[in-house]
Amino acid sequence: MKDRYESPFTARYSSEEMTKLFSADTRYVTWRKLWLALAKAEKALGLPITDQQIAEMASHLTDIDYEVVAAREKETKHDVMAHVYAFGKAAPSAAGIMHLGATSCYVTDNADLVIYKEALTLIRKELLSAIKALWAFAEKYTALPTLGYTHYQPAQLVSVGKRACLWLQDFMADLDDLEHVLNGMYFLGCRGTTGTEASFMELFEGNEEKIDQMNRMIAETFGFETCVDVCGQTYPRKADSRILKVLSGIAESAAKFATDMRLLQHDGEVMEGFGEKQVGSSAMAYKSNPMHAERICSLARYLTTDAMNGAFTASSQWFERTLDDSANRRISMCEGFLAADAILLLVTDLAAGLVVNEKVIEKRVKAYLPFIATENLLMEGVKRGGNRQELHEIIRQASVRAKKAIAQGETPDLLADLAESRAFGMSKEEMEDVLDPALYTGRSARQAEIYLSKIKAVADEGDTLAPIEI
């Protein structure tokens, strides 16, 4: 059916795995699993819940009757109670003990944490794949000289691989941040309406150890080692803000990489892979646009602004609970993950298919190398008895003349111009001897080698993903 709005993330951009994580089925089945885990823990700790009730709940975790839910929610205006009702209809013997002692946030918040943890784990996997693809590219072109740019003006030479290490280093920082957040994730547990666990003090007749044990049992069921130390009705929304900041960081790194690629493709130095039957433009058949890079930048712009939702929500929660977070979180959190997922798939595909046009790079290096070599020529001229300040002025004037000639469409011979001055004590041929590009990349290749060796174990963790359809 195509007569309703459909998110571009689910329709075009994001992986099937990520979209399933944020599906209605995943969310509401997790709610039922949480109700089951609560009942099991309460039974184990002595509350009057039977094996039959547990078994009946366990046999109806996935058969959600959404029509029953919708009808009940229309009456009650409460989604959690509508799902309690539908679960009770499916498992009638357990209807009377479902949700015992809990508040709505027991299922909504804990389910979100379960899904976010799974989603972060998937993002980590995709980030490692992107790192692996970029690592392989950087390793292949570790020593290839290319023009460096400052202010997007030609500067001293670097190597293609060393530049790729700049992109890699950003993504490695994102991996550190992601792992810090992922390893620090906690469970909410079943804490009551204001986080005081008052309902369970009543149910367990003041036995605090049983309350703690119940929360540990439920948390362990869902793979969490700890519950948050203190909370209101919800887990602290600071957790959401931290997650979105990590996702935003990935978007920032991706946009930097993709922007550099768009600039490089403009000059034909490094380009995206282009399919045999791919169409670059509906009007200009000759075009091959940087589609992946442009889409990365577009989605990254969305995700970096989406991260502000987490900050605003965390800072605007009143005391133990307000509901102005709910509608925002339903959109900002899931779509933040879907955007990060889509971006990383594109980054991996782009990095794995990069085409380096070495002849174009060589031509541009040769065109600018005489200017870049002037500092070395100045030093050599001083060694041969020249005056540093005089030589600097000669180079400046010759460079101005050469740039004016370039502006007129001419091809100047800067070295011949400099050689005419006896102040250098060098012939044009002697000057050309110092025009080996490898002499002007500094420690680029070595820096890349050292860094790539340092992160090789991380890159080796990444999976090689199949190319995506764009």
Task: For 333-343, write each residue's pLDDT tens digit.
Answer: 999 999 999 99
Q: Is residue 448 part of a domain?
A: no
Mean pLDDT of all residues in the chain?
A: 93
Cross-strand partners of 145: 159
DSSP letter string, 175-227: HHHHHHHHHT--B--S--SSSS-HHHHHHTTT-HHHHHHHHHHHHHHTT-S-B
Q: What tokens appear for 196 in the block?
A: 């005081």
Phi, psi of 356 (to 5 degrees): -100, 120
- Assess whether 262 and 144 both reside in one domain: yes
> What pLDDT is recorded for position 148?
95
- Assess whether 263 and 320 both reside in one domain: yes
Q: What tokens appear for 16 in the block?
A: 């099937």
The CATH number of the domain holding residue 81 is 1.10.275.10
The letter for the amino acid at 64 is I
Q: Which of 68, 94, 120 is the last residue of a domain?
A: 94
- Assess whether 207 and 324 both reside in one domain: yes
Which of the 8 DSSP states describes residue 289? Answer: -
- Assess whether 48 and 118 both reside in one domain: no
Which of the 8 DSSP states describes residue 468? Answer: P
- Assess whether 267 and 391 both reside in one domain: no
Task: Give pLDDT tens digits for 379-436.
Answer: 888 999 999 999 999 999 988 998 898 888 888 888 888 888 888 888 888 888 888 8
How many structural domains compose the chain?
3
- Assess whether 48 and 195 both reside in one domain: no
> What pLDDT is recorded for position 465?
64
Q: Is residue 279 part of a domain?
A: no
Q: Is residue 458 part of a domain?
A: no
- Assess whether 222 and 313 both reside in one domain: yes
Q: pLDDT under 70 in the chain at which residues? A: 1, 274-287, 465-470
Which entry of 78, 180, 281, 427 is annotated as an active-site residue?
281
Q: What tokens appear for 81 in the block?
A: 């109670």
The CATH number of the domain holding residue 428 is 1.10.40
Q: Is residue 467 part of a domain?
A: no
Q: Is 281 marked active-site?
A: yes
Contact 374, 421 (CB under 8 A): no
Phi, psi of 302 (to 5 degrees): -65, -45
Q: How far apart are the first and last CA of the chain?
A: 23
Q: Is residue 169 part of a domain?
A: yes
Q: What tokens appear for 98 in the block?
A: 């479902």
Q: Is residue 3 part of a domain?
A: no
- Assess whether 255 and 304 both reside in one domain: yes
- Assess whether 342 and 381 both reside in one domain: no
Q: Is residue 166 part of a domain?
A: yes
- Assess whether 386 and 297 both reside in one domain: no
> What pLDDT is recorded for position 428?
86
User: Residue 24: which domain range?
Assistant: 13-94
Contact 57, 35 (CB under 8 A): yes
- Assess whether 178 and 77 both reside in one domain: no
> What pLDDT is recorded for position 276?
60
Q: Is 151 marked active-site?
A: yes
- Assess whether 36 and 127 both reside in one domain: no
Q: What tokens appear for 323 in the block?
A: 């509901």
pTM beyond cutoff 0.85 = yes
Nearest to 87 by CA among 37, 31, 47: 31
Residue 222 to residue 149: CA distance in whole angstroms: 50
